[in-house]
Amino acid sequence: MTPARLLVLALSVSASLCADSFDPKLFAEMRWRSIGPIRGGRTRAVSGVPSQPNVFYIGPVNGGVWKTNDFGRTWNPIFDDQPTGSVGAIAVASSDPNIIYVGSGEGLQRPDLSTGDGIYKSTDAGKTWTHLGLRDGQQIPQIAIDPRDSNRLFVAVLGHPYGPNAERGIFRSTDGGQSFEKVLYKDENTGGSDVEIDPSNPDIVYAGLWEARQGPWENAAWSGTNGGMFKSTDGGKTWRKLTNGLPDGVVQVNIAIAASKPSRLFSAVANGRATGLYRSDDSGESWQRITTDQRAAARIGGGDLPVPAVDPKNPDIVYSASVVTWKSIDGGKTWTAIRGAPGGDDYQKIWINPEHPGILLIASDQGAIITVNGGETWSSWFNQSTAAMYHVAADNAFPYRLCSGQQDSGSACIASRGNDGQITYREWHPVGVEEYGYAAPDPLDPDIVYGGKVTKYDRRTGQIENASPKPLRGPDLRVLRTAPVIFSPADPHTMFFAANTLWKTRDGGRNWQQISPDLSRNTWDLPASVGKYSESETAKATQRGVIYALSPSP
Per-residue pLDDT tens over the stretch 384-440: 999 888 899 999 999 999 999 988 888 999 999 988 888 888 888 999 998 888 999
User: How much is the pLDDT for 83?
Assistant: 95
Mean pLDDT of 318-343: 91
User: How much is the pLDDT for 2?
Assistant: 40
Q: What is the pTM of this model?
A: 0.92
Looking at domain 43-371, which of 2.60.40.10, 3.30.70.1400, 3.40.50.1980, 2.130.10.10 is its CATH number? 2.130.10.10
Is the Cβ–Cβ distance between 320 and 268 less than 8 Å?
yes
Is the Cβ–Cβ distance between 286 and 339 less than 8 Å?
no
pLDDT band at 8, cuts 50/70/90?
very low
Extract long-range pairs of 234-237: CB within 8 Å, 24+ residues apart: 234/203, 235/172, 235/202, 235/203, 235/205, 236/154, 236/170, 236/172, 236/183, 236/184, 236/205, 237/183
Q: Give me the phi and psi of 338, to 5 degrees please.
A: -115, -10
Residues listed for the chain:
554
Mean pLDDT of the chain: 91
Mean pLDDT of 260-282: 96
User: How much is the pLDDT for 19?
Assistant: 47
Per-residue pLDDT tens over the stretch 99-132: 999 999 988 888 778 899 999 999 999 999 999 9
Is the pLDDT confidence value at 4 over 60? no
CA atoms within 13 A on the CB side of 417: 6
Residue 532, exposed/middle/buried by CB under 10 A (0-12, 13-18, 19+)?
middle
User: How much is the pLDDT for 342?
Assistant: 57
Q: How many helices and strands in the chain, by DSSP H and E?
A: 2, 39
Is the Cβ–Cβ distance between 184 and 239 less than 8 Å?
yes
Mean pLDDT of 148-162: 97
The 10 Å Cβ neighbour count of residue 147 is 18
Report the distance separating Cα 97 and Cα 289, nearest Å. 37
User: How much is the pLDDT for 543?
Assistant: 61
* Amino acid symbol at 455: T
